Copies of this chain bind each other. A is one copy, B any other.
Amino acid sequence: MLSILAASASLLAVVPAHAADLSATAAALRDKALADPTAWDVAESLTTEIGPRPTGSPAMERARDWGVAKLKALGFTNVKVEAFEAPSWLRGAESAEVVSPYPQKLHILGLGLSAPTPKGGLEAEVALFKSLDELKAQPPGALKGKIAVVTERMVRTQDGSGYGAINAARTAGASEASKRGAVGYLVRSLSTDDTRLPHTGGMRPWGEVAPIPAAALSSPDAELLENMVARGQPVRVRLAMASTSTDKAPAWNVSGEIRGSEAPDEVIVIGGHLDSWDPGTGAVDDAAGIAITTAAARLIGELPKHPRRTIRVVMFGAEEQGGAGPAYAAAHKDEIGKIVLVGESDEGAGVVWKVSLPKGSADHPAMQAFASALPPLKTFIEDAPSRFGGSDVFPMAAAGAPVVDLHQDASRYFDLHHSADDTLDKIDKGELAQNVAVWTAFLYTVADSDIDFRALAAEAK
């Protein structure tokens, strides 16, 4: 009876027969992904057994070994460690306090590339600005001897654009302050939470500008300083910060493959980043991305027959302070023409709420098969092409590789990222599984088809 039904079902298959197979398998993989514990287990393992793992730290070496062991244990082949050198700024002891007129401790967290203070710290009057533009309107020398403070607020958004809108306050603020004579720089955390935990992050290289100590203030501390300054008396702050820094720390990209059954040289390169900032355990940034992409590829690897093309998962080894993406693209430049597509999961652990496909590909049967798996996942294909992929894969995209954007809901991401609050408990198991389901369906339809994103993009011009 069952075999008769199965035979009937196969008779119902319409041209293109393979697209219908793709749809059915994508749907089956999606449902399996929703119930699969692998992603949670991977994230739990990395955050518990390794924890924070900034580039250049002993923990990052342990993370490298963890990545190799995990990929092997999950059935990946061709597991590789590719060494490179990357910038590393490592935090030392840090403290800050208002000295007068209202003595109180401040909660700060140094920014990557911050200069240390002189031993014993420095003390100076603050010059407070409500925005970076206000600071930049100051003439040369206007901040001489001052600690410049910028208290601009970040806006909560689903697509993360509130972060981009304010990013220069962290990345460029200290340089702008130093140019005007400041001896220190404090910026309200680029974050949407109201806890006393500041959020760190990188700064642009100093170039010709004299490096100065630079740190993030927690949101409540930024408001406290605003309230003090509003009283009209000079507010003096003491800063003490230590750090070590190098341009050439050892770093590693770790990768493993689900080898293609028919066209193994055609490679889909996906991943997340293995390094993290130091204050949290690097859970949503980016154990989640490692976990999601690894779990998705593994599910596909468990099919009785691997799909046509190879899926390669890369655990990028130096995202936060830069280096992994350019190193990977450089090491694989001869392979770029064979790279079918690149993508990265690095926006936290919120659901994939929309997908941007490479230009001109949405009507291809493979992408139609992918789309057919999406409705239960409450996500959709956006009517705009993909553009970025993620900072570790963008250098490959810039070199010509097609790229996909699986956009995660970032509404809560900036409550957590780059802060001590980036811990495992912030990952929702259901939301994590939704990510794996979307990635699994997508990867499978690309890997088991002959979709040529380059050709489709060229036709769409």
Contacts and interface: CB of A to CB of B under 8 A. Distances in A.
Interface of A: 44, 47-52, 59, 102-105, 107, 194-197, 219-220, 223-224, 227-228, 231, 279-281, 419-421, 423-426
23 contacts: A44-B227, A48-B228, A48-B231, A51-B103, A51-B104, A51-B224, A52-B105, A104-B281, A107-B420, A194-B421, A194-B426, A195-B421, A196-B197, A196-B279, A196-B419, A196-B421, A196-B423, A197-B197, A220-B421, A223-B423, A223-B425, A224-B423, A224-B424
Nearest to A101: B49
A423 B227 contact: no
Contact of A102 (B48, B102, B104, B224): B48
B102 A49 contact: yes
Scoring A231, A420, A424 by chain B CB atoms within 10 A of each residue's CB, the highest score goes to: A420
B104 A425 contact: no
Contacts of A220: 281, 421, 423-425
A434 to B, nearest CB: 21
Contacts of A107: 420
Given A196-B420, A223-B425, 17 more contacts: A44-B227, A48-B224, A50-B102, A51-B104, A51-B105, A52-B104, A59-B103, A107-B420, A196-B279, A196-B419, A196-B423, A220-B281, A220-B425, A223-B423, A223-B424, A224-B281, A224-B423
A233 to B, nearest CB: 11
A10 to B, nearest CB: 46
B425 A48 contact: no
Contacts of A105: 51-52
Contacts of A426: 194
A280 B104 CA distance: 10
A195 B50 CA distance: 20
Contacts of A50: 102
A115 B107 CA distance: 26
A423 B105 CA distance: 13
A100 to B, nearest CB: 12
Contacts of A51: 102-105, 224
Nearest to A223: B425
Contacts of A52: 104-105
A228 B48 CA distance: 6
A230 to B, nearest CB: 9
A12 to B, nearest CB: 48
B194 A197 contact: no
A53 to B, nearest CB: 10
A198 to B, nearest CB: 11
A174 B196 CA distance: 27
Contact of A425 (B59, B219, B280): B219
A458 to B, nearest CB: 49
